[in-house]
Amino acid sequence: MQSRFASRRFPRSGVVIASSLALAALAGCGGSSSSSSSSTTSAASPASSAAPTASGVKVSSATVSGLGTVLVDSKGHTLYIFEPDKKTKVTCVGSCAVVWPPVKLSAAGTTPQAGGEVKTALLSSATDPEGGSVVTYAGWPLYTYAGDSSAGTASGQGLNTNGGLWYVISPAGQVITKAP
């Protein structure tokens, strides 16, 4: 006896496309890969977890075990810099920005706000190639990491993904390269 599904035909192209999309999604969510490929594909970036204030986004500081005092967003999630940015421009775009969402300003004309030990003079913004502006600190564009599931963690510290290394940054504007 045939099952009720045996008589249905599924187009092979749909299965191939769905399989390809699933593999692409998994490839973008890798852990500590040493891949040196960098994505420059344009895609909509998710909004940063840094909460907007009346004037923009608030960047604060917190102590992360093994790393000391680092920059965090308003929810206490660790903020990172991407070494290939070289303190000059936003280079993590497309699939990179899905795993490492940039801290974006909420609207044109807004400015980032400092909290904790963060120095207002070191806060600024840079143009995001995908639109809008990304918050910078001491010239470095700031990002969160999708792998940090809670405040006070820094799972992205020292990862070599998306074409470069990811590090936390101190309120003094110093990139911290040590392992946690």
Q: What value does the mean pLDDT of the chain take?
A: 77
Q: Please, which pLDDT band fits residue 22 given cuts at 50, 70 and 90?
A: very low
- Average of per-residue pLDDT across 115-131: 95
Residue 108 has a pLDDT of: 82
- pLDDT tens digits, 31-86: 333 333 333 323 333 333 444 444 569 999 999 999 999 999 999 999 999 999 99
Strand order in the sheet with 58-64: 68-72, 58-64, 113-114
Question: Are 102 and 142 contacting, i.e. CB atoms less than 8 angstroms apart?
Answer: yes
Name the residue ranges covered by the structural domains of the chain.
1-180
pTM value > 0.85 = no
Sign, Cα dihedral of 25, 29, 34, 36? positive
Residue 69 has a pLDDT of: 97
